[in-house]
Every structure is written in structure tokens, then in C-alpha cells.
Amino acid sequence: MNLKKRHRGHVEVHTSALNDIMFFLLLFFLLASAVVNPNVVKLLLPRSSSGQSIPTKKINVSISEDLKYSVENKEVAFDQLFAVIESYQKASPDMTIILSADKSTTVQNLVDITDIANKLQVKLVLATESKK
């Protein structure tokens, strides 16, 4: 009877291909998450128990290249802007100002409108154009 131990071969598991696959999966998910919706601005939206949304009043305020102010497409002098926006706010207290400004407008002009919105405690959103 032959009781010698049989020498078995050495067993190896090659995982180099697994590393490559994991790298490509990681790369795919990183690129896919960046491309999914790049123009999204993350907002914390209010919640409602009834599930119905109540539309808020929005007014458009615009500043042209030659610094002419308009509220709902009606030209308004800057010194009258506070009173005009205040009259819209009295009609609808939960309104939002959509500010459309020419790209050559200075930051100070935008800050002036922001100050008016802050004094009246009105929400202000800056309108932009998407990049093409």
C-alpha cells in the first residue's frame, strides 16, 4: 500500500481582471452621475400634507443694457420701483420676483433690486439662460 502524500498543484485565483472591471464600473458611474442633469439647481422645496401645489404670483422685473427698469413689461423709474413692487406685494403677499438682467449689468444694480426685495420680504430669483 502506497501511503505517500500526493502532491497537489498550487491553486490560484486571478483577480487582476476583477480590479479592471471594478475600475471601469466606478468610472462609468462617476461619469454618468455628472452627465445625468448638469443644469439642476438643488432646492429644498416646501412640503404639503394635502399633496396639492398652490401657485404663487410671480412678477418679472428686468434691467436692460441701458439701465431701464421694467416691471411686467412696463417701464418704471428706479426711484418708483419700490412702490410698484410693494403694490404687487399687497395684492399677493407670497409672490416671487423673477429678475432678468442684461449680462452687461453691474453687480450694484442687481444688489439694489435685491435690497428692495429684502426690505419687502419678497423672494427673488435671478433668471439665467442655459449654456449651449
Q: Which pLDDT score is estimated for 1? A: 59
pLDDT tens per residue across all 132 residues of the chain: 566 666 677 777 777 788 888 999 999 888 887 776 655 545 454 555 555 444 468 888 888 888 889 898 888 999 999 999 999 888 888 888 888 888 888 889 889 999 999 999 888 888 777 655
- CA distance linking residue 67 with residue 108, whole number of Å: 12
Check if the beta carbon of residue 97 is closer than 8 Å to that of residue 123.
yes
Q: Which pLDDT score is estimated for 80? A: 92
Q: Where are the domains of the chain?
A: 58-126
Q: Which pLDDT score is estimated for 79? A: 92
Burial environment of residue 25 by CB neighbours within 10 A (0 to 12, 13 to 18, 19 or more): exposed
Q: Which pLDDT score is estimated for 50? A: 53
- CA distance linking residue 122 with residue 129, whole number of Å: 23
CATH code matching the domain that covers 58-126, chosen among 3.30.420.270, 3.50.50.60, 3.30.497.10, 3.10.450.50: 3.30.420.270
Cross-strand pairs, 99: 61, 126
pTM of the model: 0.55
Q: Which pLDDT score is estimated for 54? A: 45
